[in-house]
């Protein structure tokens, strides 16, 4: 009898989603383009005052990362739902919550990781220093997967509904707020010289909490959507 191991199933889900992302390069490029454009236009709009740019930089970059995640959430489950791949996934003899982790990981690689990698470059535009750039990257490294996991719940809850894009935003934005506050706060604290450990720890706690509960909640929402 055939039964995939957990790692086989997880790798299969990630591989499929990354392969699909490679075939939809424009969608991936759109997320990166959005982040780069927004983060680059802000300094032009606000003006060359270095102190102002340094002050708003962490918040702007974090909001940009958050919006980039929100924009790409629509792609997380909708296509799979429409072409029947989701019901095939739900019938894989492994925990759907674990398979959800695979899908969310692929989503993060496509939409979150590029933001993390680009963040030092984008931070330079706001005059952030070496330490602050490091904290910014670390905070995004912890925060963007959390956003993807929380976003997954919203995407699953609104699957198959009309106008789901707006509904997802309404559902997940309140849950994104703590991540945004701790993420931007970590960079601001680092710039103020009061240490970023507290904010990063809270961000880490958010990550662990979302890792523990979000996949399970998403899996339940997906099963309801399939009914």
Partner 1 sequence: MLQTVALSGSRGQRQLFSDVSVTVRPGTLLAVAGANGSGKTSFLRILCGLLSPDGGTILWQGKDIHQLKELYRAQLMYIGHLNGIKDELTPIENLTLSACLAGDDSSGTTVQKALEAVGLSRPVHVLPTRVLSQGQKRRVALARLWLSTRPLWFLDEPFASLDAAATTYLTQRLQSHLSNGGMVVVSTHQEIALPSDSVQHLGLTQ
Residues that bind partner 1 (CB under 8 A): 1-5, 8-9, 11-13, 15-16, 19-20, 23-24, 79, 82-85, 87-95, 226-227
CA distance 187 to 191: 6
* Helix (H) or strand (E) run with residue 107 in it: helix 96-107
Minimum separation from the CB atom of position 223 to partner 1 (A): 8
By beta-carbon proximity to partner 1, the closer residue of 45 and 84 is 84
By beta-carbon proximity to partner 1, the closer residue of 85 and 141 is 85
Strands of the chain, DSSP E:
none
Minimum separation from the CB atom of position 100 to partner 1 (A): 14
Residue 69 CB contacts under 8 Å (≥ 6 apart), including other chains: 111, 112, 144, 147, 148, 151
Minimum separation from the CB atom of position 168 to partner 1 (A): 23
CA distance 64 to 75: 18
Residue 214 near residue 150, CB atoms below 8 Å: yes
DSSP string, 146-205: HHHHHHHHHHHHTTT-TTHHHHHHHHHHHHHHHHHHHHHHHHHHHHHTS-SHHHHHHHHH
Minimum separation from the CB atom of position 93 to partner 1 (A): 4
By beta-carbon proximity to partner 1, the closer residue of 16 and 169 is 16
By beta-carbon proximity to partner 1, the closer residue of 29 and 208 is 29
Minimum separation from the CB atom of position 98 to partner 1 (A): 11
By beta-carbon proximity to partner 1, the closer residue of 63 and 99 is 99
């Amino acid at each position: 009898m055939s039964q995939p191991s957990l790692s086989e199933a997880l790798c299969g889900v990630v591989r499929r989603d990354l392969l699909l992302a490679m075939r939809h390069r424009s969608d991936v490029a759109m997320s990166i383009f959005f982040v780069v454009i927004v983060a680059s236009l802000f300094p032009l709009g606000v003006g060359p005052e270095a102190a102002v740019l340094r002050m708003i930089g962490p918040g702007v970059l974090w909001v940009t990362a958050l919006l980039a995640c929100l924009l790409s959430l629509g792609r997380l489950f909708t296509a799979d739902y429409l072409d029947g791949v989701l019901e095939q996934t739900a019938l894989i003899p492994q925990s759907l919550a674990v398979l959800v982790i695979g899908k969310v990981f692929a989503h993060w690689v496509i939409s979150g990781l590029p933001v993390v990698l680009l963040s030092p470059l984008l931070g330079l535009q706001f005059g952030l220093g070496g330490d602050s750039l490091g904290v910014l990257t670390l905070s995004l490294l912890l925060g963007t997967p959390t956003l993807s996991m929380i976003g997954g719940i919203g995407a699953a809850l609104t699957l198959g509904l009309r106008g789901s894009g707006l509904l997802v935003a309404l559902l997940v934005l309140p849950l994104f707020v703590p991540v945004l506050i701790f993420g931007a706060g970590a960079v601001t604290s680092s710039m103020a010289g009061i240490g970023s450990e507290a904010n990063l720890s809270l961000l880490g706690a958010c990550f662990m909490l979302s890792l523990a509960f979000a996949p399970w909640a998403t899996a339940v929402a997906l099963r309801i959507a399939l009914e």
